A and B are shown apart, each in its own frame.
Chain A
Amino acid sequence: MAKKKEVLSKEQRIKLFTNLVRADKFGKMMYSRMMQGKLIGFYHPAEGAIAPGVAAGSFLTNDDILFPHHRGHGITHMLSKGIDIEPYIAEHAGKSTGCCEGRAAWHYAYPENNVFGTTAYIGHNFVPCTGFGWAAKRNNRGQVVMNCFGDGAMGTGRSHEGLLLSSNWQLPIVHFCENNGFAIFAEVEEMHPTEHLSTIAEGLNIPTTIVEDGQDVFAIAEAVIPAIERARTGGGPTFVEAKCLRFKEHDIGNRDLRGWKPREKEEYEAMLKRDPVLVATERARAESLLTDVEIEKIHEDAELEVARAVKFADDSPVESPTEEELMATLYAPRDGVFV
């Protein structure tokens, strides 16, 4: 029997593994900095659910357009897309070196890298992504739009409208649903009548792929890559749904409930066995992707990268322009130079 052709090359798998480790370290650093009072705004940890963002971001070009999921405030997605995360850490600390000059805090954008997000308005991602898709199609240079959101967003009218137009116009969009089963406390089973959220996209003639094990970064990538390829080659939108696990509360300081009752101790114990880094490491070893020495090196490099970002943020001054200086930047000038 012929051997099944691998979707992922060794190089791609190593990239995924590396980005996963980086995302994990950045996420844990953000959690601990929030607890230390060194971040401003809220922080919505991605811990447990970082594999989807890594798979979504790792195979995008700089010209591709990304709207990250808000969880972990998109660090996972962005670092996988290859952008410099240091200005984001600084932004989240209100520093002048922040990617939005300290004004966004955590609802940032990196327009120079075609990254736009996030927002408090769940489902809003479908709004600009419709236009990104429209522009990408008209630009006709193979751009892909990666539209990331959670199960909660699928309750909004915006999601229906965005899916509808992407299907009508066959826009090059990957609708990427990171279904962690919760919208704050509310369980997806309770809030949606169908087993899969992708059913909604199917009803609009959008091809769908369900990844049952969204803790396995390689499994998600195997679904994402063909979706990116379809979009890039004029095949229109795809809806990818990755079922993943949220290890922490919705946002730091909040309770962690299922409905209105605390999640069971057994649930956490079972969940932690499905830690995405653990799952990927087991596979990397079992499939001889990386040696223990190489794995250790990836962890060390990631820790150094995180330490550099923290130092960069800590060393940067707080951004505090005057009201007049800010007012002068409210409107974009006609002859302005923009990124």
Chain B
Amino acid sequence: MRELAYVNAIREAIQQEMRRDEKVFVVGQDVRGGVYPHTLDLIDEFGEERIVDTPISESAMHGTAFGSALQGYRPIVDFMFASTAMTVFTETAVMTGQQYFLHGSKRPVPLVMTGAWGIGKRTANDHAMPIHGYYSRAPGLRVVIPSTPYDAKGIFTAAIRDNNPVMIPWCTGIMMLKGDVPEESYELPLDKASIKRVGSDVTVLANSEQLQFALKVADKLSDEISMEVIDPISFSPIDMETILTSLEKTNRIVIVDEDWESGGFAATVSARIVEQAFDLLDAPIQRVCFPNMPIPGGYMEDYLRPNPEKIENAVRYVCA
């Protein structure tokens, strides 16, 4: 099959959906020029009416998407860096998330929000910051992160076609990761986790660059420990069914997430496992997350963030 880089898989999803549905458009800052390649050269095919640049006005930029979505358009609002969406958190999380439900579930808000994040590029807090933890607490939003090129295309396609606001923070650590991607259009479920490697001794949840790390560790330990590696994909709502089914088999779990340790996906999943499946556990749940400090931008990112060594240690600990 044809190989594509992750970021180009996103681009292909956007391009194919824009061809399929004239209501789809992109709004952001320098999306015409394509600061990131997922909008590069789309201006040539779709023109300025559908590849829309705004001033540095995140509130109105998001508003262009939010308001037009309420009028039947299907906008993709690109914040360039994910944490930039946080500058208008009220707009992106609170107002967008509550709009459909609080107003009687009568008029949907079909809009995609996206932006890049990722620790390990020595870019420090503002550019690196994971936002899925924050956004996954905003009811009414879907929060999804695809972690392979194949998933990126299928998830973006499904998100554009979905009738809800979908936040897709994508990770720069896997931006150029290559993988098989079909040329034709396809969708993947927005609310389902994906088992990336079948195993029997321990369940490991990991996304984005951490998924690659977890798979490497699984290879390395394959003679000793059989790791089942699951990509959660959906951070809101969380697919607990897939996680608990795996846990029934492995009875051990390690949750890896570059997000801060406190209050995020790993914390929520841990709490739910303790509530719903305490008896399945043969070892304490282990979380491998970023420590609760602002992300320093120098060489410290490498050893502060989750990495293969930390994942291996956690896996060995629960399997000991």
Is B71 in contact with chain A by the CB < 8 A criterion?
A: yes
Interface code B51-67, partner A: CB below 8 Å = 1, 0 otherwise? Answer: 00011011111111111
Q: Which residues of A contact B57 (CB under 8 A)?
A: 160-161, 164-165
A338–B49 Cα distance when bound, in Å, is: 26
Q: How far is the CB of B179 from chain A (nearest CB, A)?
A: 27
**A111, B103: Cβ atoms under 8 Å?**
yes
Kindly provide the distance from the CB of B11 to the nearest chain A CB, expressed in whole angstroms.
23
Question: Is B60 a contact of A162 with CB atoms below 8 Å?
Answer: yes
Q: A124-B91, A131-B65, A332-B108 are in contact. Are A107 and B71 (CB under 8 A)?
A: no
Q: Which residues on B sit within 8 Å (CB–CB) of A134?
A: 64, 67-68
B6 to chain A, nearest CB (A): 26
Q: Among the listed stretches B34-42, B121-129, B146-154, B156-164, which one makes contact with chain A, having 4 or more residues with CB under 8 Å of it? A: B156-164
Q: Which residue of B lies closest to A156 (CB)?
A: B59
Indicate if B292 sits at the interface (CB-CB under 8 A).
no
Partner of B106, one of A129, A333, A338: A338
Are A332 and B102 interface neighbours, CB within 8 A? no
How distant is B191 from chain A, measured CB to nearest CB, in Å? Answer: 9
Task: With A107-B102, A338-B107 as known contacts, state yes or no: A136 contacts B71, CB within 8 Å.
Answer: yes
A333 to B110, CA, bound (A): 11
Q: Which residues of A contact B105 (CB under 8 A)?
A: 101, 329, 332
In this assembly, does A286 line the interface, its C-beta being within 8 Å of a C-beta of chain B? no
Q: Assess whether A131 is in contact with B67, with CB atoms less than 8 Å apart.
A: yes
A158 interface residue per 8 A CB criterion: yes
* B164 adjacent to A165 (CB under 8 Å): no
CB distance from B51 to the nearest CB of A (A): 13
CB distance from B102 to the nearest CB of A (A): 5
Give how many A-B residue pairs fall within 8 Å (CB-CB).
142
Q: Does B306 contact A (CB under 8 A)?
A: no
**Which residues from A are CB-within-8-Å of B65?**
131
Query: Which residues of chain A are within 8 angstroms of B59 by Cβ–Cβ distance?
Result: 126-127, 157-158, 161-162
Q: Which residues of B contact A139 (CB under 8 A)?
A: 71
Residue of B nearest to A107 (CB): B102
> Complex: how many Å from CA A127 to CA B100?
16
A100 to B101, CA, bound (A): 9
Pick from A65, A99, A104, A165: contact of B55, CB under 8 Å:
A165
Of the candidates B59, B73, B142, B163, the one having the most CB atoms from chain A within 10 angstroms of its own CB is B59
**CB pair B60 A164 closer than 8 Å:** yes
The chain A residue sitting closest to B100, CB to CB, is A332
Q: Are B163 and A138 in contact (CB under 8 A)?
A: no
Q: How far in angstroms is the closest Cβ of chain B from A74?
A: 14
Q: How far is the CB of B186 from chain A (nearest CB, A)?
A: 15
Q: Tally chain A residues at the interface, Cβ within 8 Å.
A: 47
Q: Is the CB of A126 within 8 A of B63?
A: yes
Residues of chain A lying within 8 A (CB to CB) of residue B108: 332, 336, 338
Whether, in the assembled complex, A273 has its beta carbon less than 8 Å from a beta carbon of chain B, the answer is: no
- The answer on a CB contact under 8 Å between B54 and A135 is no
**Known contacts A131-B68, A333-B163; A99/B60 CB under 8 A:** no
* Known pairs A107-B102, A111-B106, A135-B71; A330 contacts B95 (CB<8 A): no
Q: Which residue of B lies closest to A105 (CB)?
A: B102
CB contacts under 8 Å to B, within A129-154, are 129-136, 138-139
- Tell me, yes or no, whether B169 is within 8 Å of chain A by CB: no
Per-position binary interface string of chain B over residues 7-29, scored 1 when its CB falls under 8 Å from any chain A CB and 0 otherwise? 00000000000000000000000
Closest A-chain residue to B101, C-beta based? Answer: A330
Name the CB-closest residue of A to B92: A127
Quick check: A104 and B100 within 8 Å, CB to CB? no
Given the interface pairs A161-B57, A161-B60, the reply to whether A329 lies near B72 with Cβ below 8 Å is no
State whether the Cβ of B120 lies closer than 8 Å to any Cβ in chain A: no
A293 interface residue per 8 A CB criterion: no
A127 to B77, CA, bound (A): 13
Is residue A121 contacting chain B, with contact meaning CB distance below 8 A?
A: yes
Give the CA-CA distance A332 to B141 in the complex, in Å.
11
Q: Is the CB of B67 within 8 A of A339?
A: no
B46-98 at interface with A (beta carbon < 8 Å): 49, 54-55, 57-73, 75, 90-91, 94-95
Tell whether B133 is near chain A: CB-to-CB under 8 Å: no
Given A130-B60, A165-B64, 5 more contacts at CB 8 Å? A104-B102, A131-B63, A134-B64, A161-B58, A162-B60
B residues within 8 Å of A by Cβ?
49, 54-55, 57-73, 75, 90-91, 94-95, 99-110, 139-140, 142, 161-164
11 contacts between A and B (CB under 8 A): A101-B105, A129-B63, A130-B67, A133-B67, A135-B67, A161-B57, A164-B57, A164-B60, A329-B101, A331-B100, A332-B164
Ranked nearest first, the 10 interchain pairs of A and B with the lowest CB-CB distance are A131-B67, A111-B107, A127-B63, A332-B108, A135-B71, A161-B60, A332-B163, A128-B67, A161-B57, A130-B63
